[in-house]
Amino acid sequence: MTFNKLTPDEEAVIIHKATEYPFTGKFLNHKEKGVYVCRRCDSPLYRSDDKFESHCGWPSFDDEIPGAVKRMPDADGSRTEIVCANCGGHLGHVFTGEGFTTKNVRHCVNSLSLDFKKMEKAYFASGCFWGTEYHFMKAPGVISTTVGYMGGHTFAPTYKEVCTGTTGHVEVVEVVFDPEITSFENMLRLYYETHDFEQVGGQGPDIGEQYQSVVFYVNENQKQMVEKYIKILTDKGYKVATQLRPAPEFWEAEDYHQEYYDKKNGIPYCHAYRKIF
């Protein structure tokens, strides 16, 4: 493992488990969208979406990127220390039951233990979101994937509501990726190579509005890239059914839908990779 060179202040916290003075860290009031990574080894640790204002004096998060943070009893005998699961660098402490957010967890992290990377998001719908996510979560440069619902007319939909076919929502995967490692174009190619984009009104055996092929774009660049690929595929003789729509609010799906095929150790029935490009 190769590590970044640390300043003496960073070393005091990350190696020797010191705590920076409250209200002094550079990420305390930092509000950009992206991912906080380990200062020492660059492992992604926390998403900006999980950062909240606790007024405690240190950056606070109510969730971690799955598997990124290790918990251990603190030497003080009462608190729970958190360290980077990859390099073991000290991050801070985790507290529960304080009631700050609905998740009721506060990762209290030293700014000196962190670095920040801007990330890009993309939203892909290609049928059952378990199968769509299966391929994206394994792609290089992808930091995290989340399944959810988009494009309908109801507030905070549940899976049960979406399955009635009356909400207008579509099953979607939110893909957060590092634009220094991969690109929206790579994501889009993977999208087209892992579903039947010619099928209208569903995907495989899953029929209904919620299983349609849709790309929800977040900026003009993504929109133009999708248009370019629809043309490339049309020129190859495909009848592309994919809809191109601006991204409305994304509603995260229930926990049991997240990373479904990893939890079940299974392989999707509905999404297989086939090389096109």
Inter-residue contact 73 to 80 (CB < 8 Å): yes
Nearer to Zn ion, 40 or 93 (CB): 40
Piece of the chain touching Zn ion by CB under 5 A; list 41-49, 60-68, 119-127, 200-208 = 41-49
| Residue 30 DSSP one-character state | -
CB of 89 to Zn ion, least distance (A): 4
124-153 positions binding Zn ion, by CB under 5 A: none
Quote the radius of gyration of the chain (alpha carbons, Å). Answer: 21
For residue 144, the cross-strand partners are: 176
Annotated catalytic residues are 108, 128
**What is the spatial order of strands in the sheet that 44-47 belongs to?**
44-47, 34-38, 114-118
Using rule CB under 5 A, residue 12 touches Zn ion = no
CA atoms 87, 88, 91, 96: torsion sign: positive
Nearer to Zn ion, 38 or 147 (CB): 38
Using rule CB under 5 A, residue 86 touches Zn ion = yes
Nearer to Zn ion, 36 or 184 (CB): 36
Piece of the chain touching Zn ion by CB under 5 A; list 5-13, 14-22, 42-50, 103-111 = 42-50
Using rule CB under 5 A, residue 38 touches Zn ion = yes
Amino acid present at 104: N
For residue 15, give both structure tokens.
């190696």
Task: Among 12, 18, 56, 87, indicate the residue that binds Zn ion (CB under 5 A).
Answer: 87
Nearer to Zn ion, 50 or 206 (CB): 50
Using rule CB under 5 A, residue 110 touches Zn ion = no
Nearest residue to 144 via CA among 274, 26, 250: 250
Nearer to Zn ion, 84 or 188 (CB): 84
Task: Report how far Cα 136 is from the mean position of its chain's Cα atoms.
Answer: 10
**Residue with tokens 């229930």, as numbered in its chain:** 254
Element (DSSP H or E) covering residue 188: helix 184-193
For residue 170, the cross-strand partners are: 150
Task: Among 41, 150, 187, 188, indicate the residue that binds Zn ion (CB under 5 A).
Answer: 41
Using rule CB under 5 A, residue 84 touches Zn ion = yes
Q: Residue numbers of the site for Zn ion (CB under 5 A)?
A: 38, 40-41, 43, 84, 86-87, 89
